[in-house]
């Protein structure tokens, strides 16, 4: 049989990879917290990691493992761990791998909650440098002898700066630094993260992968490219026989097991269902976003549009080389001075004002006064977030309906100024 195309692979991944019982096409949802062992030695062996199995669902379950198998397969990794949310994946991974005295370099354009968490770990004695990750030279200048990790996003939310992923990957490889990449905006359908040498992929399953605004989740995938034997923060008790699993083992034990941000079995099932249509949705989302960005870029009611698919975007050429199937579904816009942002958002009838992204529905919100409010004016300025910035997460509706909604909203605003 020929190699399956990605769309086909996603639709059949659960049954092909996990081979559910009784001919089911989906792995059964296992809601048991505990697991019985007829032989106590088997319980001991599984508990000590000498044998595969489940002992307590906070640490693992067949539902979670089935989803992990599929997600790991998509990114070509050596293993994956799922969590209750995307922020749980990020916080658990960093707290499991870093310690007081370590230094990390992170994007100055980080999403608000992630940036807030970076401030939290600074209180634990981990120093953080915020840099312009679109410029590899800025990243290099920030690194020092105790730098353990570089953390960035593929495309920043909301102003869509595109990180120098290839430059960062090459630098991390040559200096034995972990390259932790938030891939939420560009899942494997859009970016092959191994080509840019990312060590760890962190993704909010809540967004494009789940895709329907009905489930929370996060995942960490180890691409297998990092040499854990040269990472001195791995505790001896987590140095299992397969050295490629050292990082994942420590994250599962110190992170998932001890911190407890476990993905519920029903949530794992919902993510798996959403995953089946990922490529179809992203194709439509990217096409819609491109069309909306083009429309907005020529509208008299708009001062600026930020979308990597536009030729005038500062990192358009880079994005074109990185993202083979589209430029993502997020764009941001600054309206002309005579249009009040809140009033414009209220004038939209199809587009929903909501704090979410990656949904089937088109969503919009004022970024500065909501998801980046806690960052303060000075930090927002460094990120390029103006007080008038509107972030738009484009959905899968018919593009003519999306454009018509913006048309009528602009018309009502500009009519009021006549």
Judged by DSSP in three states, 16 sits in helix
pLDDT band at 58 (very low <50, low <70, confident <90, very high): confident
pTM here is 0.92
Judged by DSSP in three states, 150 sits in strand
Judged by DSSP in three states, 313 sits in coil
61 has a pLDDT exceeding 90: no
Strands of the sheet with 79-83, listed across from one edge:
79-83, 218-222, 200-204, 178-182, 147-153, 103-107, 127-131
Cα gap 347→413, rounded to integer Å: 8
pLDDT band at 52 (very low <50, low <70, confident <90, very high): confident
With CA atoms as reference, report the closest residue to 336 among 291, 297, 384, 304: 304
pLDDT band at 355 (very low <50, low <70, confident <90, very high): very high
Cα gap 308→99, rounded to integer Å: 36
Cα 67 to Cα 32, 49, 172, 252, 375: the distances in Å are 17, 20, 29, 15, 34
- End-to-end CA gap in the chain: 65
User: How much is the average pLDDT of 289-307?
Assistant: 97
pLDDT band at 417 (very low <50, low <70, confident <90, very high): low
Each residue's pLDDT tens digit, 77-123 = 999 999 999 999 999 999 999 999 999 999 999 998 999 999 999 99
243 has a pLDDT exceeding 90: yes
What pLDDT does residue 1 have? 40
User: How much is the average pLDDT of 222-245?
Assistant: 96
Please indicate whether residue 379 or residue 333 has the higher confidence score (pLDDT): 333
416 has a pLDDT exceeding 60: no
What pLDDT does residue 281 have? 97
What pLDDT does residue 2 have? 56
Q: Are strands 330-335 and 389-393 parallel, antiparallel or unpaired?
A: antiparallel
What pLDDT does residue 184 have? 97
């Amino acid at each position: 049989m020929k190699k399956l195309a990605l769309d086909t692979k996603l639709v059949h991944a659960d049954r092909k990879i996990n081979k559910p019982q009784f001919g089911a096409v989906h792995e059964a949802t296992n809601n048991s917290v505990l697991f019985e062992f007829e032989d106590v030695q088997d319980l001991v062996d599984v508990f000590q990691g000498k044998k595969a199995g489940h002992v307590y669902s906070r640490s693992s379950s067949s539902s979670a493992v089935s989803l992990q198998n599929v997600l790991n397969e998509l990114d070509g990794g050596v293993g994956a761990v799922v969590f209750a949310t995307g922020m749980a994946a990020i916080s658990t991974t960093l707290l499991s791998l870093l310690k007081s005295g370590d230094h990390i370099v992170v994007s100055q354009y980080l999403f608000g909650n992630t940036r807030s968490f970076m401030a939290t770990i600074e209180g634990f004695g981990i120093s953080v440098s915020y840099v312009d990750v679109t410029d590899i030279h800025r990243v290099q200048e920030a690194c020092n002898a105790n730098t353990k990790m570089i953390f960035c996003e593929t495309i920043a939310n909301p102003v869509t700066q595109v990180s120098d992923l290839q430059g960062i990957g090459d630098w991390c490889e040559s200096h034995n630094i972990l390259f932790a990449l938030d891939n939420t905006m560009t899942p494997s359908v859009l970016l092959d993260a191994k080509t840019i040498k990312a060590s760890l992929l962190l993704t909010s399953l809540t967004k494009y992968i789940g895709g329907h605004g009905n489930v929370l989740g996060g995942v960490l995938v180890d691409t297998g490219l990092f040499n854990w034997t040269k990472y001195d923060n791995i505790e001896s008790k987590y140095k299992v026989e397969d050295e490629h699993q050292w990082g994942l083992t420590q994250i599962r034990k110190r992170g998932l097991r001890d911190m407890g941000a476990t993905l519920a079995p029903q949530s794992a099932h919902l993510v798996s269902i959403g995953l089946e249509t990922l490529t179809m949705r992203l194709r439509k989302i990217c096409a819609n976003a491109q069309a909306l960005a083009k429309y907005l870029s020529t509208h008299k009611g708009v001062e600026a549009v930020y979308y990597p698919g536009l030729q005038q975007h500062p990192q358009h050429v880079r994005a074109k080389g990185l993202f083979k199937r589209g430029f993502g579904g997020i764009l941001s816009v600054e309206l002309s001075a005579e249009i009040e942002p809140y009033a414009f958002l209220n004038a939209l009838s199809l587009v929903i004002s909501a704090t979410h992204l990656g949904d089937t529905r088109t969503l919009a919100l004022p970024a500065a006064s909501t998801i980046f409010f806690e960052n303060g004016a000075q930090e927002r300025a460094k990120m390029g977030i103006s007080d008038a910035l509107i972030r738009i997460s484009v959905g899968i509706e018919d593009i003519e309906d999306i454009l018509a909604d913006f048309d009528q909203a602009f018309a009502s605003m500009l009519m009021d100024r006549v």
